[in-house]
Amino acid sequence: MVYLDHNATTRPTPGVVEAATRAMAEGWGNPSSVHRFGQEAKHSIEVARGQIANLLGVKGGGRGIVFTGSGSEAIGLGIGGVMRAMKATGKRVVVTSSVEHSAVRGICGQMESDGDWGIEVRTVGVEGDGVIDFDALREAVDDDVAVVSIQWVNNETGVVQDVGAIGELCRERGAVFHCDATQWVGKMETSLEGEDPKRGSLIDVLTCSPHKFHGVKGVGILWARSDRERRVRLVPMVPGNQELGRRGGTEGVPAIVGAGVAAAEATAWLSRGREDRERLLGMRDRFESAVIERCSALIGERVVVNGGGADRMWNVTNVGVPGLEAEALLLAMSERGLCVSAGAACASGSLEASDVLVAMGVEARVGRGSVRVSLSRETTDAEIDEGIEIFCKSVEVVGRSMV
Give the pLDDT confidence of 139-152 residue by residue, as tens digits: 999 999 999 999 99
Q: Which domain holds residue 301?
A: 274-401
Give the per-residue pLDDT at 343: 64
Per DSSP, the residues of 257-283 read HHHHHHHHHHHHHHHT-SHHHHHHHHH
Taking residues 96-121, what's their average pLDDT?
Answer: 93
pLDDT tens digits, one per residue of 320-364: 999 999 999 999 999 999 999 996 544 445 557 899 999 999 999
User: Which residue of the set 108, 179, 346, 392 is catalytic?
Assistant: 346
Give the lowest-confidence range in 75-79, 269-273, 339-343: 339-343
Question: Do residues 21 and 95 share a domain?
Answer: yes
Question: What residues have CB less than 8 Å from 20, skipping those under 6 apart?
Answer: 12, 216, 254, 255, 257, 258, 261
Q: Give CA–CA dist 142/191, Å, rounded.
A: 27
pLDDT at 56 exceeding the cut of 90: yes
Give the lowest-confidence range in 50-54, 70-74, 110-114: 110-114
Residue 116 pLDDT level (bands cut at 50, 70, 90): confident
Question: Do residues 359 and 331 share a domain?
Answer: yes
| Domain-terminating residue out of 271, 292, 309 | 271
Establish if 3 belongs to a structural domain. Answer: no
Establish if 169 belongs to a structural domain. Answer: yes
Taking residues 209-221, what's their average pLDDT?
Answer: 98
Give the per-residue pLDDT at 61: 81
Give the per-residue pLDDT at 63: 86
Establish if 330 belongs to a structural domain. Answer: yes
Three-class SS of residue 79?
Answer: helix
Q: Give CA–CA dist 187/213, Å, rounded.
A: 7
* 316-320/120-124 β-pairing: unpaired
| Domain-terminating residue out of 271, 304, 335 | 271
Question: Do residues 244 and 263 share a domain?
Answer: yes
CA 298, distance to chain mean position in Å, is 34
Residue 335 sits in a domain of what CATH number? Answer: 3.90.1150.10
Establish if 5 belongs to a structural domain. Answer: no
pLDDT tens digits, one per residue of 30-53: 999 999 999 999 999 999 999 999
Give the per-residue pLDDT at 233: 93
Question: Do residues 33 and 167 share a domain?
Answer: yes
Establish if 9 belongs to a structural domain. Answer: no
pLDDT at 75 exceeding the cut of 90: yes
- Across the chain, mean pLDDT equals 95
Q: Any bridge partners for residue 34, and if so which?
A: none
Taking residues 243-266, what's their average pLDDT?
Answer: 96
Using left for φ > 0, alpha for ψ between -120 and 50, and beta otherwise, residue 363 falls in beta
Question: Do residues 100 and 238 share a domain?
Answer: yes
Question: Do residues 209 and 350 share a domain?
Answer: no
Three-class SS of residue 160?
Answer: strand
| Domain-terminating residue out of 239, 271, 303 | 271
Question: Do residues 51 and 185 share a domain?
Answer: yes
Taking residues 61-65, what's their average pLDDT?
Answer: 88
Question: Do residues 105 and 139 share a domain?
Answer: yes
Question: Do residues 235 and 112 share a domain?
Answer: yes
CA 262, distance to chain mean position in Å, is 16
pLDDT at 228 exceeding the cut of 80: no
Establish if 195 belongs to a structural domain. Answer: yes
Question: Do residues 195 and 47 share a domain?
Answer: yes
Establish if 193 belongs to a structural domain. Answer: yes
pLDDT at 393 exceeding the cut of 70: yes
Q: Are 66 and 247 in contact (CB under 8 A)?
A: yes
Question: Do residues 254 and 296 share a domain?
Answer: no
pLDDT at 22 exceeding the cut of 60: yes
Count of structural domains, the chain: 2
Catalytic (active site) residue 392: no
Taking residues 289-305, what's their average pLDDT?
Answer: 97
Question: Do residues 243 and 280 share a domain?
Answer: no
Taking residues 197-220, what's their average pLDDT?
Answer: 98
